[in-house]
Amino acid sequence: MVRRLCDEADARRLLQPGPVVIMTVAWRGMANAAPVAWTVPLSVQPPLVGCVLHPDRLTGLMARHSEEFALNIPGPSLAKQVAFLGSITGIETNKIEAARLTVFRAQRVDAPLIEGCLAWIECGLESVTRFGDHDLYVGRVLRVQALDEAYVQTWRLESLEHSPLVYLGGSRYGVLGSPMEVTFRTDEQGGLVVETPEEREQREEREARLAELRKLEGEALEERLRLEQVRPLGPPVEE
């Protein structure tokens, strides 16, 4: 294993894979949408969430003027639309229409909500604060909706189509998956028991099964190669 020194800029990508959201806004009869990967929960009571936007984003400007926005959380079926919405600004284009998206009315804000998403968070804008070259938009959560198939107290992750899309950077995306229930025990000194005797037994059984499987696969491959030497594979040669 090699531990490699990364660039300072890699910090953002390493921390990045939370769900990507499509931030929607409406102002003076115009609506706009942009994907935002840099989001953060900020407070439980009052419920506050944050979105980090570059000052160039029209979406941010419209959120400042309308003092509200919505966060739409897509699954993998909307990946192309997400990439498209992030590729152009809405200054001269009705991006929502161009992305062939259908919207429905939000309950507490004017920003439209996007059909086909897994969850929707409606927010009032609390504050905007500059950090370095980006602005933190703090939203007061006003209403939250989610599909039952996708979310019940936590993301269910039972099927890929109902799991949130995550953005890895560039044109790479992933889907949140492989949920695991994690419990742990401590010893008399309060230290973590990294592996209980039962877990050790299970691991050793798994490893033994895997080794057996590899051995069988190896034997099968050897047999195939032996047969191929006798009778090479490929189309029959015309006499």
Ligand X SMILES: Cc1cc2nc3c(=O)[nH]c(=O)nc-3n(C[C@H](O)[C@H](O)[C@H](O)COP(=O)(O)O)c2cc1C
Query: Which positions lie near ligand X, rule CB under 6 A?
Result: 20, 32, 34-38, 52-54, 57-59, 82-83, 86, 88-90, 167
* Residues in a beta bridge with 49: 41, 139
Q: Would you say 46 or 170 has its CB closer to ligand X?
A: 170
Please say whether the beta carbons of 143 and 104 come within 8 A: no
What φ, ψ does residue 124 adopt, rounded to 5°?
-95, 145
Q: Which amino acid is at 6?
A: C
Q: Which residue is nearest to ligand X (CB)?
A: 86
Residue ranges of the alpha helices (H) in the chain? 10-15, 58-66, 79-85, 95-98, 197-230
Q: How many CB atoms lie within 10 A of CB 52?
A: 17
Q: Would you say 3 or 130 has its CB closer to ligand X?
A: 130
Q: Would you say 37 or 106 has its CB closer to ligand X?
A: 37
Q: Please, what is the minimum distance in Å from the beta carbon of residue 16 to ligand X?
A: 9
Q: What is residue 30's three-state secondary structure?
A: strand
CA distances, 29 to each of 105, 137, 175 (Å):
14, 22, 34
Q: Please, what is the minimum distance in Å from the beta carbon of residue 65 to ligand X?
A: 13
Q: What is residue 142's three-state secondary structure?
A: strand
Q: Please, what is the minimum distance in Å from the beta carbon of residue 165 to ligand X?
A: 8
Q: Please, what is the minimum distance in Å from the beta carbon of residue 36 to ligand X?
A: 4
Pairing of strands 30-36, 113-114: unpaired
Q: Would you say 27 or 155 has its CB closer to ligand X?
A: 27
Tell the residue number behind the tokens 């099964």, with chain if given: 209
Q: Please, what is the minimum distance in Å from the beta carbon of residue 52 to ligand X?
A: 6
Kind and range of the H or E element at 157?
Answer: none
Q: Would you say 38 or 155 has its CB closer to ligand X?
A: 38
Q: Would you say 170 or 197 has its CB closer to ligand X?
A: 170
Q: Please, what is the minimum distance in Å from the beta carbon of residue 7 to ligand X?
A: 19
